[in-house]
Amino acid sequence: MPPEDGKNSRTDELPPDPIFAAYPVTVDEDDRYPTAVRFLGGASDRFANLVAMCKYISTEAPTKTDLRAWFETELDARESTFDKQVPFIEDLGLISLPEATGVVYLTETGDRFLTALDEPGERKYEILFDALRATVIGFDYLLARLAADPIPLDQLDTILAEAYVDYQPDDAVAIKHYTWLLAIGYVEKHDGAYELTDRGRRAFTRIQPTQHADETEPPTPEAIDTSTLTDEEQRFVEQRRRVRDTAFRRRVRAAYDNRCAICGRNRTTPDGTPEVEAAHIYPKGAGGRDIVPNGLALCKLHHWAFDSGWLSMSDEYEVLVTDAPDQPGYAEFSELEGTTLHLPANESQYPAVKFLQKHRRLYGFTAE
């Protein structure tokens, strides 16, 4: 039954599976999307439509304009559908879209997906599911819940909500997860509930985590020792890293409207590609997370200055400059001292103070 107070509930009747130890997650601190995005077609033809698009990209090497025309003509889709759904396939790590002009191509994962179509077994579904679980919160959790018991159709959103601390998906959000699972044959509807298929149970067995039940947070891809992983596990970790990089860059640029947070400039190449880059406040190599509050949109000069220790920020979002008057560049950078950052319109995307403090400590700044 849904919890009466509307909050997420957990039950002691769940099987002692390590997957549950990693949930619920906090959306603001997880670099994956809280919800999936549809792809053209219902559960019965979504997989075939995705295959058709990947084959077209592989054989024709289209421009983004060509792919849009094919998508709208061959799949009978509206223009707005392309803009919403095809970038999600890029986020899954199957394709790479140019920012302006240029050729659309399959990634290494996309190539493996197409190759697996001609192979016996379930590898093609495994590749797509690994892409989904690397990009979107909740897929592992749903398989674990379904492995325990069928999920009644009237509890779809309630069950999925248990995967989150601070996010309450509505019905439209929940069904997107289940439709993808239907499309790859991992679940089926039976007697008013979703049940795992035999293929889904094999998938659940395959993704069983090796962490101990008392671990509350799974390691980030950067923290994993890949020397101990199988080839399949290494590919999944590398795919997760690529997905994170792409999503982080896109989210940070969008949050700052493609403007440098320090100088406020918005420059593009002649073909419209933004100059601004997504910088980590607390460096990724030191364990910094790929979330917008740990990011800044910076022009190339100020990205270099921020990462090299010339610049930092106070808790009040004012620029700090290293006191090095004898070094070339100091005169230019010193003019920025005390200026206020150009911040996102959404306050929840502001730089997190804890990351700014870590950056100042890392580069020898003193908090004011």
Tokens of 147: 């492995």
This prediction's pTM: 0.61
- Which of 215, 217, 221, 218 lies closest to 233, judged by CA? 221
Neighbours of 327 (CB within 10 A): 11
Cα-Cα-Cα-Cα dihedral sign, residues 128, 134, 135, 140: positive
Q: What backbone phi and psi angles, to 5 degrees, belong to 142?
A: -65, -40
What's the pLDDT score for residue 228? Answer: 52
CA dist., res. 304 & res. 300, Å (int): 6
The domains located in the chain, with CATH, are 18-36+136-206 (1.10.10), 46-117 (1.10.10.10), 257-362 (no CATH)
Tokens of 231: 């080839």
Residue 215 has pLDDT above 80, yes or no: no
Q: What is the dihedral of CA 112, 31, 138, 86, to 10 degrees?
A: -50
**Which tens digits make up the pLDDT trace of 35-92?**
899 998 888 899 999 999 999 999 999 998 999 999 999 988 887 899 889 999 998 9
**Which tens digits make up the pLDDT trace of 239-273?**
555 555 677 788 888 889 999 999 999 998 887 78
Name 296's bridge partners: 279
DSSP string, 295-328: EEEE-HHHHHHHHHTSEEE-TTSBEEE---TTST
| Residue environment code for 62-96, b if the CB has 16+ CB neighbours within 10 A, otherwise e | bebeebbebbeeebebeeebbeebbebbbbbbbbb
